[in-house]
Amino acid sequence: MITLYQQDKVWFITGCSTGFGRQIAEQAIHAGYKVVVTARNVEQITDLTAGHEEHTLTLPLDVTSPDQIRTAIDQTIEKFNRIDVLVNNAGIGYFSSVEESVEAETRRMFEINFWGLMHVTNAVLPYMRNQKSGHIINFSSIGGLTSFPTLGYYHATKYAVEGISESLAQELAPFNIHVSLIEPSGFRTDWGGRSSAKTETTIPEYKESIVGQMLQGIQLGAGQEAGDPVKLAKALIKVVETPAPPLRLLLGQQAYQAAKHKFTTLLESMEEWKETTLDADYQD
């Protein structure tokens, strides 16, 4: 049962037209929160707030536009006077070998996945610091912890989100502001379709390797992913209402298995090379 205090929380969610953002907005509205629903195309999200106008706000937001960010935050404060939960969900993917990646595509992805996320965060932070409370939820990925072929630059954007979120969590702790990284594996959100771009390999050696195999298989698994977006959205509500929320939340069995493999092998390598590692310091 959600208390009155919990219902008074104001959520600000980016990228709500499809996928995770849409499900999170829908679940948060259903739970009785005050919710600001944003997307580049407002027409795609008006159905989410229909009938809930008193407790919701629908706003246009391209996270690469500083002017739109400022306007959206101002309108949110004007209506609700505060922002308690920021969900940085907006993001895109890009598939290619690292060598063949198109710089314009990778820079666009960084503008959305990293800089867009940070510009929205920095616009919200003064209000959260003034409130002495808040929760920033940054969408990373299992791809923010471990890497796979054909996603090199996507991984780079998510590793950047992971790194800055760790620093941010430490800096904001004195203000009672929490930071949580969401790290899902494959979910049925069409991330590999409309939300991603792809550059086909033309180098014969890559075509015959795992790069070519993965590029060919991108669409084959679309719509068959194990992850349930509704369950993810409900998990976010649980995280928001937990007194001590986690810095990281893996979601999906594949995410758990991939992360466990990454850190198990990392620890094994650390121990194998421990002597060389410790010997690098000056000896007293």
DSSP secondary structure string for all residues of 173-202: GGGTEEEEEEEE--BSS-TTTTTEEE----
The predicted structure's pLDDT at residue 218: 72
Residue 225 has pLDDT above 80, yes or no: no
Instruction: Check which CATH number belongs to the domain holding 227 and give it.
Output: 3.40.50.720
How would residue 228 be classed by pLDDT, with cut points 50, 70 and 90? confident
CA distances from 113 to 143, 154, 161, 196 (A): 13, 9, 8, 12
Asked if residue 172 belongs to a domain, the reply is: yes
Residue 195 has pLDDT above 80, yes or no: no
Q: What is the pLDDT of residues 157-183, one digit of tens each?
A: 999 999 999 999 999 999 999 999 999
Give the separation between CA 177 and CA 136, rounded to whole angstroms.
Answer: 8
What are the residues whose beta carbons fall under 8 Å from the beta carbon of 138, sequence distance 6 or more?
88, 117, 121, 161, 165, 179, 180, 181, 182
132 against 229, higher pLDDT: 132
What are the residues whose beta carbons fall under 8 Å from the beta carbon of 280, sequence distance 6 or more?
none
Cβ(241)–Cβ(6) below 8 Å? yes
Asked if residue 283 belongs to a domain, the reply is: no
Give the separation between CA 127 and CA 150, rounded to whole angstroms.
Answer: 39
Residue 3 has pLDDT above 50, yes or no: no
Asked if residue 184 belongs to a domain, the reply is: yes
Give the separation between CA 61 and CA 177, rounded to whole angstroms.
Answer: 24
Per cent of the chain over pLDDT 70 is 91
Asked if residue 14 belongs to a domain, the reply is: yes
Give the separation between CA 137 and CA 9, rounded to whole angstroms.
Answer: 14
Q: What is the pLDDT of residues 53-106, one digit of tens each?
A: 999 999 999 999 999 999 999 999 999 999 999 999 999 999 999 999 999 999
Catalytic residue positions?
A: 140, 154, 158
CA-based nearest residue to 212, from 222, 202, 220: 202
How would residue 224 be classed by pLDDT, with cut points 50, 70 and 90? low
Tell me 242's DSSP state: -
Asked if residue 284 belongs to a domain, the reply is: no
> Per-residue pLDDT averaged across 258-263, rounded?
96
Q: Could you tell me the two tokens for 246?
A: 């986690």
The predicted structure's pLDDT at residue 193: 59
Asked if residue 126 belongs to a domain, the reply is: yes
The predicted structure's pLDDT at residue 197: 85
Domain boundaries, position 129: 4-278
The predicted structure's pLDDT at residue 66: 97
Give the separation between CA 159 and CA 165, rounded to whole angstroms.
Answer: 10
The predicted structure's pLDDT at residue 1: 39
CA-based nearest residue to 110, from 64, 65, 162: 64
* Structural domain count, the chain: 1
Asked if residue 50 belongs to a domain, the reply is: yes
22 three-state secondary structure:
helix
